[in-house]
Chains A and B, each alone.
Chain A
Amino acid sequence: MLAVRSAEHRVGQEERDVRRRERDGGRRHRAEPDRAEAIALCDRPDQWQRKDRDRKALGKGAGGEDEARSAGCAMGLSIRRHIAGDHLPDAVLSLTLSGPILKPVPTAMAEALKNRMPEADPEMLPGEILPGESLPGMGTFAAAALPIRPELGPALDRGWAQLGEPGAWLSGAERVAAVREARAAWDCAVCRERKAALSPYAIDGPHDSATDLPDSWVDIVHRVVTDPGRLTERWCRSVRNAGVEEDEYVELVTVATIATVIDTFALAVGLSLPDLPAVRDGAPPRRREPTATPGPGWVATIAPENAGPGFADFYANDSHFYIRRSLTLLPDEARKFWDVMNPLYLADPRIRELDGLDRAIGRAQMEFLAARASMLLGCYY
């Protein structure tokens, strides 16, 4: 939803522009060069595409659209240095090219700009905060009026959207249903009763399901979401014996976990939970991974020494920890999982406190939060 400040604001913009020009003594406003650069870039999309190719050649990641969008939400004016017309939704483009901001913008964006442009005339930036707002065409997190790191917002949006795409063994519709179940689990009476019980396996009864997924699937999702610390190998075996394929089990765990993680981030920072991902058509390949072998836990995984050329990079940087390996029965799903987790935490946990962290909290503070969250979830690993 675009929140628009009162029409008087726009009507009065010209007057404020005149006042500003008078105050500046006729000097050109500082945004003007950037605006000119942006317009030039938009007129020459080939320039941006070339820059994009250069970035990729240097191994600097996707660049392009994600970078532009992130820059747009995080830096306001810096977007002018990063755009090409076809990379951005109209609303952002309007904002970008407007110089002194003449057009209505989402109020959350306006607030972000206020925070990051202390040199700007506050009267240029309209709006009042509406938590959870985002720009049309942009994801919840990339457009949020919060200082979310540029690599993190798009990763969360991408991870969320992928939950609606066909997976390795589940269809897009089944995956979105699993997301719905992950949310419904928090209000499930049986889950609450189990959580309070000395043993969750002493409580029987159907879950408060939000979908028509098989009961065994619902049970997997609800337990993983609400009481992961008390899952047992015996229960896992019983699920398999009830007819759930090992691969389906791993995908349900992956989907439920990613959904829970992204929802957790949203509620923690005060954003509205994202709408359910759009379901994408297509059949999952349902192909058993030939390089997977049993262990080290209850499900098969791809051991580093068995990883083929298409997957060996997954274990780069000595990332051989079992947690990295845990979901690799479905290699593509494992990659999606880590594509979300790495920017949330650290791509390389070996980094030391004094090596320099691109974080606003210290490594010791991160590790305390990590350990405390794991403890509260009853995780031994």
Chain B
Amino acid sequence: MSGRDTGNDYDLAAVTGGGDAALPNGGILNAFVEAVVARDMPSVAAARAALADAMGEAAMVDAAATIAAFNAYPRAADATGIPLEEAKRDLTADLRRELGLDILETVA
């Protein structure tokens, strides 16, 4: 949606493999989310400082907020077993295949 609106191209493979996703400060954001999800506190501190340095403290806070929210949705979804909506499943079929996401559906 975002890229379609702005005309920008993004590297979606970074969602699964890490990297900068061809986003401004993408590498820094990736380091931050990886550190926070891993709860690796020294890495969190370093990534937080790098992010605040590059994008400002407010951006660091909003990045943390998004990461925090997406520590909730997966837990709520996975603990209640909700399926992907049919419409969303159809719309994202190619993308899921390309990124190898379908494996997550059966991994457990």
Q: Is the CB of A373 within 8 A of B77?
A: no
- Chain B residues contacting A264 (CB-CB under 8 Å) are 36, 67-68, 71
6 pairs, CB–CB < 8 Å, chain A vs chain B:
A229-B107, A231-B79, A365-B29, A366-B66, A369-B63, A381-B73
- Chain B residues contacting A381 (CB-CB under 8 Å) are 73-74, 77-78, 82-84
Q: Is the CB of A267 within 8 A of B58?
A: no
- Chain A residues contacting B61 (CB-CB under 8 Å) are 146-149, 269, 360
Q: Is the CB of A372 within 8 A of B14?
A: yes
Instruction: Say yes or no: A369-B107 contact (C-beta < 8 A), given A267-B41, A364-B8.
Output: no
Q: How many A-B residue pairs have CB under 8 A?
A: 240
Residue in contact with A345 in the complex, picked from B5, B15, B65, CB distance below 8 Å:
B65
Interface residues of A (CB under 8 A from B): 115, 146-149, 152, 186, 224-225, 228-233, 236, 250, 253-254, 256-258, 260-262, 264-265, 267-270, 296-299, 301, 321-323, 325-327, 337, 340-341, 343-345, 352-354, 359-381
Dominant SS among interface residues on chain B: helix
Q: Is the CB of B82 within 8 A of A322?
A: yes
- Chain A residues contacting B62 (CB-CB under 8 Å) are 149, 359-361, 366
Q: Is the CB of A361 within 8 A of B69?
A: no
Q: Is the CB of B1 within 8 A of A369?
A: no
Interface residues of B in 55-91 (CB under 8 A from A): 55-85
Q: Is the CB of B39 within 8 A of A236?
A: no
Residue in contact with A379 in the complex, picked from B29, B69, B73, CB distance below 8 Å:
B73
Residue in contact with A262 in the complex, picked from B32, B58, B68, B82, CB distance below 8 Å:
B68
Question: Min CB distance, B4 to chain A, in Å?
Answer: 9
Residue in contact with B76 in the complex, picked from A265, A326, A345, CB distance below 8 Å:
A326
Q: Is the CB of A321 within 8 A of B76?
A: no
- Chain A residues contacting B107 (CB-CB under 8 Å) are 229-230, 378
Interface magnitude class on chain B: 35 or more
Question: Min CB distance, B28 to chain A, in Å?
Answer: 10
- Chain B residues contacting A147 (CB-CB under 8 Å) are 57-58, 61
Q: Is the CB of B36 within 8 A of A267?
A: yes
Q: Is the CB of A360 within 8 A of B59?
A: yes
Dominant SS among interface residues on chain A: helix
- Chain A residues contacting B58 (CB-CB under 8 Å) are 147, 360
- Of all chain A residues, the one with the shortest Cβ separation from B56 is A360
- Of all chain B residues, the one with the shortest Cβ separation from A147 is B58
- Chain B residues contacting A343 (CB-CB under 8 Å) are 65
Instruction: Say yes or no: A341-B73 contact (C-beta < 8 A), given A268-B48, A270-B48.
Output: yes
- Chain B residues contacting A377 (CB-CB under 8 Å) are 37, 70-71, 74-75, 78
Q: A265-B65, A299-B80, A367-B1 are in contact. List 13 more A-B contacts (CB 8 A).
A: A147-B58, A253-B80, A261-B69, A268-B44, A270-B48, A341-B72, A359-B62, A364-B2, A364-B23, A368-B26, A378-B78, A380-B101, A380-B105
Residue in contact with B57 in the complex, picked from A146, A341, A366, A374, CB distance below 8 Å:
A146
- Chain A residues contacting B1 (CB-CB under 8 Å) are 352-353, 363, 367
CA–CA, A83 to B96, complex, Å? 51
CA–CA, A299 to B78, complex, Å? 11
- Chain B residues contacting A299 (CB-CB under 8 Å) are 80-81
